[in-house]
Structure 1
Amino acid sequence: MMEKPRDLPHLIAVDPFLGTVEAKLPVPEGIAATWWTAKPPVGNTHPGASLPFAMVSACAYSGAYVTGYGRYGLSLDGGPPPVAFAKHEALGIAHFQQSGTGRIRMYYNYLLTTPLGDDGLYGRTERRPLPDERAWPGYYAGRFGETEVGFEVTALPRGIRHRYRFPEGKKTAVAVDVSAGGLLIDDMGTYPQGADFRASGDAVSGVVVMEGIPIHFHCRCPGGVPFVWEDEEETGGEAYELTLDKQKFRPTFGFGFRGEAGAEMELAFGFSLQSAEQAAVAIESPGDFEASTREAAESWESVLSKVEVEGGTADQREMFATALYHSFLKPADFSGENPFTRKPGPFFLDLSTLWDLYKTQLPLMMTLWPEKGAAFVEFLCEVAEREGVFPISYLMDNVPDRFTKQATGLCHAILEDARLRGIEADWDRVLTLLYRTSQSGKGRKSRFGDYGRRFVVDPLSHTLDIAYAHFCMARMARALGHQVIHDQATAMSVHWRNAFDPATGLLRQDSTYYEGENWNYSFRFLHEMQERIDLAGGNARFVALLDKFFGFKEPAHGERVFRFEGLNNEPDMETPYAYLYTGRHDRTARVVRRVMQCRFTTGPGGLPGNDDSGGLSSWLVWSATGLFPVCGQPLVLIGSPLFPKATWHLPGGDFTVECDNHGDEQVFVREATLNGRPLDRAWLKLDEFRSGGVLRLTMSDEPSEFGTRRLPPSFKP
């Protein structure tokens, strides 16, 4: 196996195994001891090889929930995750994995590749221990116990390289299961709707259709002799087609390669959603396995150096570097691979948790990579034009009506946020699509239509979503000079009030909230935050509600309070910063630091809940540097930095956060300057951040008056 490249300082700080097992977090202190767990406390990440925003990943496959890696079964409640497999074992290496999601049912984990032992194809389904696992960004390796075959995989822009080392004197063969997919859990497996492939020379090329999506592949094994198999028996032919007759008895099928006994065997997989020829191009580039691994590592190093921190402990720097790594795994960039239109242009997949990504991860991506943001905007517009609606999630399937329980109208906020961040796009076209999809067709039949007729929808959290979506659309229309859209959207943006009970200052209880309760959704950022606070009875009463939510105060006798989820789940991930709208930066500072101290750590158990494609990790990236975005508004909020110095390398210039008198107990800001001038507010204008500069914070172990006077603004459309 290869050694981690020690000359890449940001890469070597990353631990790809962080978040792969049940959480083993620090003992909660103070208010953190009162927070509750809504979902299984496991990050659901995997350590496989991938590139930043990569199309393909590769990892050992056990069949476990939810990425295919590990030992867990399906669970959606807050208890420990159920163990589905007694030991940490694997069947081989699979391709395409989710990252940190909560539920994806049956997708991914395709073209399962297994080195064979003495029993040939008949031993292909035996689980093998995984000793000696190691990984760094772009590279994953280990050994299959019992057969003692060592494996390594490294990522390519549109493919994966495998390398296997067989014991001396042993047969050298690898089998690829083209029919594999999904998880080895009841009702979570995938079966192909079609397949066709052919061997030629030292390569096999073809296609398998999974969940309606054609996955074209080209696999080359230099020096290898290909064979085709079905149900653990070689067919003796050079080609295979999944016919209707075969579909009735659901065979397992695939191909493989034989090599010289006791030798190394290398495979290169190229993938495409359009053609096997395009998949073959993905592995045409010269270079050996080591060169590909180095290229992957350097690609990650350039990405991980976009935000740099200084000081802190070694564990904190590892947590931060790994959070950056997890933040840049998704969305998966399939540009040029649109399987629906077969036209060139931007195309992304693996948007399974857009309701989390829009708050932290997508603002992070668009801040650091405007060109990636522009491609993402174009992709969203293409989906809206083709499907008649903007997506809520987008997976590798052909189902246009996807998961709608969690949220709705998210793309309105995402697209307005992109515009505010200076992303280049045809914004008149974007606005027209937002308006049209909200007012007609599927929009008229959706919750947008219900909202337009009744000014409230269930779940009530969706009422907040749609009101905010109209605010974002109105702001975009005002900037572009579209008065009719502005006026109509403005009139529809005010009905968030209908979701609240003025008697309690909270969202009404007569609703079905997903993965949380009315308390967890009650403190969401709105555009009219001052009006929201007034509805709760003013600053003092709003703070009192937040204090009960976070555990600073106990509930009254008989009062039922659902506490902060502590980032075990993300409905309330922005809520620690809600205190800033009342002038209580001290409360924000205390909560944010407690989250970072008690809810994150190093090691496989280092995350408090689903990473949700980087939604959780990107919260840590922002918060550890002392900042937090407000999606759809030109604001960056100031928190309590985990590190004494953090530098964002932005297109408009470096933005640095420096702290004097920084320490574990110095969580409060006593005073601040921005570019040498006194700053009397706990927030920045977005342009102040984007253009670069220096924010200097003087920290203290006692609360101060910082942030008490000039509060973050409320916005009118």
Structure 2
Amino acid sequence: MCKLQSLARELLFHAETLSRMIERPTEFPTHARVDPFLGTAASDLPKPVGIAATWWRPKPPVGNTHPGASLPFGMVSACAYSGAYVTGYGRYGLSLDGGPPPVEFAKHEALGIAHFQQSGTGRIRSYYNYFLTTPLGPGGLEERTVRRPLLDEQAWPGYYGGRFSETEIEFEVVARPRGVVHRYRFPEGTDAHVAVDASAGGLLIDGMESYPQGGELHLEPDGSVAGFVVMEGIPVHFRCSAGDAEAYLWEDDEPTEASDYELTLDKQKLRPTFGFGFRGKGRIIELYFGFSLREPEAARVAADLGESLESSASEAASAWEAQLAMIEVEGGDEASREVFTTALYHSLLKPADFRDENPFTRKSGPFFLDLSTLWDLYKTQLPLMMSLWPERGAAFVEFLCEVAEREGVFPVSYLMDNVPDRFTKQASGLCHAILEDARLRGVEADWDRALSLLWRTSQSGKGRKSRFGEYGRSGVVDPLSHTLDISYAHFCMARMARSVGHQVIHDRATELSAHWRNAFDEKTGLLREDSTYYEGENWNYSFRFMHDMRSRIDLAGGDRAFVGLLDKFFGFSEPSHGERIFRFEGLNNEPDMEAPYAYIYAGRPDRTAHVVRRVLDCQFTTGPGGLPGNDDSGGLSSWLVWSATGLFPVCGQPVMLIGSPWFGRARYRLPGGDFTVIAEQNGPERFQIQRAWLNGEEIQRSWLKIDEFLGGGELRLEMGEKASGFGSEIRPPSFAG
């Protein structure tokens, strides 16, 4: 009976907690289908069937997402912090191989709310989670280090809330354009106090902590706390206001009467903390944070009390609805629509737009951070951003060019730090493809300047001492996947040079673009085995899109031989006796994410349809375990957004491939006009295209010119169960240079 009474009390308390939290807005139908918890736990996917049962995973099967409050491409996020890998949310420890993620913490607990989370990444060196904010229970400041079970969590775009068990303190946080608003509700009889650890950062895993290199805290005359801390070489200015609550400082866990506190390098192990509270009155504390990487005044403006938490939540929901409504889908079932809309949501979290917040030049203008997985984003997420939001794309182009001018090289990742090794990681020359893709998608920019910077950082200036210089001298670099990167980068430069009329760069870049062949073994038709391959094997990198796919297929022995290799890769056929192969990673990782569409270049779009549908049906689902691997800042989710609507971009080429739509209708709201994909008689096993019409005229090709997509129109597909031969004759264009 006691257990039943206890359970009844807990359920009553649970209901009362939820009734006190603000309700999810009902006027935003698209936003209502987003589940921010999708991808936060180890994969729990449908049982793989057919070829999907043969795929392998090199990385842990977990999305590494978080449910915290963020805005579209937002500068700031806020989420419960446990110190777990990799976002600071959850229970997992460091994991790098394909086994289940190890459990670091026995219970789902948190220390408080932290800010600036990564989204869906793996091991990347710096993890943020700054300004840990902890509501204190009866034990006072010592409770800052006490982990509390998390209950009653709920989240929707821009909002996150829940309850800390034992202290029974309820919390809600809402993202704002340059800050966050917090609300804490304390139980009767408990003094209301909140502590903010200005030195917090990183994860609670060995080697992943982050400590401030300097900083200052000040009590302001208006009762707010302001200052800055230098984290990973970046100054983070802040201001925090709490209405009528009294503000105070602690130094190294001891209260101080001083109104200022300076943190220096010899004090970096100390934990400067400030707080707000009511003693004997008031049960609710609201905090208004503002942040800036440039100046105190910008943080002060961002922290202005202004809108209430309810108003801020409504504005956040409205902002998300406007962006999520840019792609509408109809058909399918409720689960597939939830998976799709959440994928679109995850696609719009990064890169984080820090416009006017450049900490290096202190100048106004475009500035982006959290490009921690640019090698994934450039294939799917950035083409989506460039297509739907060309103005943001123009800002991104300007940002990349500013980095190149300032540092003499284009980045392959860009984190919230000042460490220069962001330029020599997993891939090479990604910005060459990104910039050419932006140009093809109609983004407005100074392309003469962009081309000059691309060439200067590749085959002149610092480029001579880089992999680009080595490639220019020898025609090959190791790892061999970088040979493919750099070859493609020269193709992209050649195309851009042709568009702006720079003949010298065009001719030299065209010549250098042909060296991709040096990475392949003509006996096998695959990349050579005498190299190392990041998070995969030579098979996983062998089916990347090249600019000269006709020659690539011929190198493998022609269409039939190339399809034969793909069939072994995806599990349609078995290896020969003694043959060593590595299968498709099934979107657990992204080196081979475009490979399902490689069939189209060999006249087998029916195989593409088969693989794409098996990925959609077997590798994604609803719930916390709904992703097959790291979301990689939206690179994985963007693959689903494109593929579920029946399209796929070829970054750097004026081509959109046609796959197999998951939905009966999908509409892109593009600046040039709406583009709609209609899949008639579509169904779980009716995923093969029988016939196709573009703007009312029948077509026989399984690809579109990029202008046919960007200009708006209608692609109507008749679907069926069996392959029809559609798209087998007219191949996507191949570019020799």
Which bracket does the TM-score occupy, shorter chain normalised? Answer: over 0.9
Match of 2:15 in 1: none
- Are positions 1:616 and 2:633 aligned together? no
Alignment check: 8 A CA contact 2:547 2:735 kept: yes
Alignment check: 8 A CA contact 1:405 1:514 kept: no
Secondary structure of 2:276 counterpart = strand
- Are positions 1:417 and 2:437 aligned together? yes
Match of 2:710 in 1: 690
- Write the mapping of 1:507-518 to structure 2, written as runs, cut at 5 A: 507-518=527-538
- Are positions 1:224 and 2:245 aligned together? yes
- Are positions 1:579 and 2:599 aligned together? yes
Give 1:656 shift: 0.3
Q: Provide TM-score, normalisation by structure 2.
A: 0.96
Match of 1:31 in 2: 51
User: Between the two proteins, what is the percent identity of the paired residues?
Assistant: 72
- Are positions 1:198 and 2:218 aligned together? yes
Match of 1:254 in 2: 273
Match of 2:101 in 1: 81
Give 1:716 shift: 2.8
Secondary structure of 1:65 counterpart = coil
CA 1:403 to 1:90, structure 2 compared with 1: closer, same or farther past 3 Å? farther
Give 1:504 shift: 0.1
Alignment check: 8 A CA contact 2:213 2:265 kept: no
Match of 2:475 in 1: 455
> Which residue of 381, 390, 397 maps to 1:361?
381
Give 1:479 shift: 0.8
- Are positions 1:398 and 2:418 aligned together? yes
One-letter identity of the residue aligned with 1:75:
S
Alignment check: 8 A CA contact 1:204 1:220 kept: yes
Q: Provide TM-score, normalisation by structure 1.
A: 0.99
Match of 1:92 in 2: 112
In the alignment, the residues of structure 2 paired with residue 255 and residue 562 of structure 1 have an alpha-carbon distance, to the nearest angstrom, of: 54
Match of 1:595 in 2: 615
In the alignment, the residues of structure 1 paired with residue 393 and residue 305 of structure 2 have an alpha-carbon distance, to the nearest angstrom, of: 27
Give 1:403 shift: 5.8
Match of 1:663 in 2: 683
Secondary structure of 2:393 counterpart = helix
Match of 1:714 in 2: 734
Alignment check: 8 A CA contact 1:169 1:262 kept: no
- Write the mapping of 1:37-436 to structure 2, written as runs, cut at 5 A: 37-200=57-220, 201-247=222-268, 250-260=269-279, 261-284=281-304, 286-402=306-422, 404-436=424-456
Deviations 1:495-534 (A, max 9, x none): 0000000000000000000000000000000000000000
In the alignment, the residues of structure 1 paired with residue 266 and residue 532 of structure 2 have an alpha-carbon distance, to the nearest angstrom, of: 46
One-letter identity of the residue aligned with 2:255:
E
In the alignment, the residues of structure 1 paired with residue 83 and residue 252 of structure 2 have an alpha-carbon distance, to the nearest angstrom, of: 19
Alignment check: 8 A CA contact 2:288 2:304 kept: no
In the alignment, the residues of structure 1 paired with residue 587 and residue 267 of structure 2 have an alpha-carbon distance, to the nearest angstrom, of: 47
Give 1:106 shift: 3.2
Alignment check: 8 A CA contact 1:167 1:262 kept: no
Give 1:284 shift: 2.8
Alignment check: 8 A CA contact 2:87 2:127 kept: no
Give 1:480 shift: 0.7
Alignment check: 8 A CA contact 2:213 2:264 kept: no
In the alignment, the residues of structure 2 paired with residue 379 and residue 236 of structure 1 have an alpha-carbon distance, to the nearest angstrom, of: 44
Give 1:285 shift: 6.6
Give 1:243 shift: 2.8
Secondary structure of 2:212 counterpart = coil
Give 1:230 shift: 2.0
Give 1:107 shift: 2.8
Give 1:202 shift: 2.1
In the alignment, the residues of structure 1 paired with residue 530 and residue 438 of structure 2 have an alpha-carbon distance, to the nearest angstrom, of: 35
Secondary structure of 1:401 counterpart = helix
In the alignment, the residues of structure 1 paired with residue 697 and residue 224 of structure 2 have an alpha-carbon distance, to the nearest angstrom, of: 65
In the alignment, the residues of structure 1 paired with residue 266 and residue 708 of structure 2 have an alpha-carbon distance, to the nearest angstrom, of: 65
Give 1:253 shift: 1.5
In the alignment, the residues of structure 2 paired with residue 368 and residue 165 of structure 1 have an alpha-carbon distance, to the nearest angstrom, of: 40
In the alignment, the residues of structure 2 paired with residue 454 and residue 402 of structure 1 have an alpha-carbon distance, to the nearest angstrom, of: 25
Count of matched residue positions in the alignment of Structure 1 and Structure 2: 715
Match of 2:501 in 1: 481
Following superposition, which runs of at least 4 residues in structure 1 exceed 6 angstroms of deviation? Answer: none
Secondary structure of 2:95 counterpart = coil
- Larger CA deviation: 225-234 vs 459-468: 225-234
Q: Which ranges of structure 2 fall in alignment gaps of 5 or more residues?
A: 1-20
One-letter identity of the residue aligned with 1:702:
K
Give 1:420 shift: 0.2
Deviations 1:201-227 (A, max 9, x none): 320010000000000001000011111
In the alignment, the residues of structure 1 paired with residue 265 and residue 606 of structure 2 have an alpha-carbon distance, to the nearest angstrom, of: 66
> Which residue of 556, 563, 571 maps to 2:583?
563
Deviations 1:187-244 (A, max 9, x none): 0000100010101232001000000000000100001111111222111221110134
